Amino acid sequence: MDVLSDVITVMRAGQPRSARVAWQAPWAQQFASVPGSAGFQIVLQGPCWLIASDTGPVPLAAGDIVFRPHGRGHTLADSPTTAPAAPACDPNDPQALQRYVTDLVGTPADPKVPATVTLCGAYELDPARTHPLLNDLPELIHLPAHLGRHPGLRATVDLLATELERPRLGTDAIIPALLDTLLLHILRSWLDQHPTPGTATTGWAAALNDPATTAALQAIHRDPARPWTVATLAAEAGLSRAPFARRFTTLLGQPPLTYLTWWRMTTAARLLRQSDAPLSAIAGSVGYTSEFAFANAFKRQYGAAPGRYRRT
């Protein structure tokens, strides 16, 4: 798998949640802060505002997408001055949004009452396997609607809106897949906004826009069991050993083999939780010929032996 796909695979936990919600002015709804989650709001119709203590009021228009990657609370409202009339909603609660869902089909619109329609949703994330890419994301990613920009993202939003508005046979299988696709497109769009790294630009956005560093990361993620060295990773990047190690460490804040070990242990933790494979097989799949060496490396990162981690 490629780096971005792997990031989503290891971080996601449980089922993502989403609902199509219609609001009639005046309205305001708080969304609670939920550690270990990431939330999004998509405006399908009408204007509204996003109000949060860490960003200030943000005006939104139809087609805008906002993503809150760190689970911070916020409010959606028709105006920055409208006070929320209901308790804060937990976006991970499958029943919480249903009280606000309104079926607009067949309901005559009142031109005197402005209506706003949104898609609200949240992803559950595993805090034990948080990828450093997530830590690099800002508190708010705002993707304004622009004709011709992010066509894949817009197509995914249209499909998701249709499934939520008119559920049919298969909807329960389609929606989680569309929500994962939506998350990937949001992250792609954010990465695309960052230019090729320069002397003052570091972090995961810079690294994934740098061909040499990306080539090394793709190699690690494609085959974590291979006995990688700095020299063999440098060859994948098309650089000599010292310049590659310097470049990788500068952009990502850690040496290549440190990231390799972290990724191996993160992959092992996922396999321990999601499969019944024996420890020897998991050790081999992440590059350890000795089960003892694997257990020691795993315990250093997670504070528990692999068997105990699996049981708890």
Residue 197 lies in a domain: no
| Number of domains present in the structure of the chain | 2
Same domain, residue pair 151 and 31 = yes
- Coil, helix or strand at residue 145: coil
Residue 89 lies in a domain: yes
Identify the sign of the CA torsion 199, 200, 204, 209: negative
Same domain, residue pair 180 and 246 = no
CATH code for position 33: 2.60.120.280
Same domain, residue pair 127 and 247 = no
Q: Which two tokens stand for residue 110?
A: 């009142």
Q: Dihedral (C-alpha) 129, 133, 137, 142: value to the nearest 10 degrees?
A: -100
Same domain, residue pair 32 and 56 = yes
What's at 253, amino acid-wise?
G
Q: Which two tokens stand for residue 35?
A: 């550690």
Check: CB of residue 78 under 8 Å from CB of residue 49: yes
Domain span at residue 305? 204-311
Same domain, residue pair 84 and 114 = yes
pLDDT tens across the length of the chain (312 residues): 688 888 888 777 777 888 888 888 888 999 988 888 899 999 999 999 999 988 889 999 999 999 999 989 999 999 999 987 666 666 555 455 544 444 333 344 455 556 899 999 999 887 777 888 888 899 999 999 876 678 899 999 999 999 988 888 998 899 989 999 999 999 988 888 876 555 457 899 999 999 999 999 999 999 999 999 999 999 999 999 999 999 999 999 999 999 999 999 999 999 998 899 999 999 999 999 999 999 999 999 999 999 999 998
CATH code for position 289: 1.10.10.60
Residue 286 lies in a domain: yes
**CB within 8 Å of 262: residues ≥ 6 apart:** 254, 301
Please state the pTM of the whole predicted model.
0.82
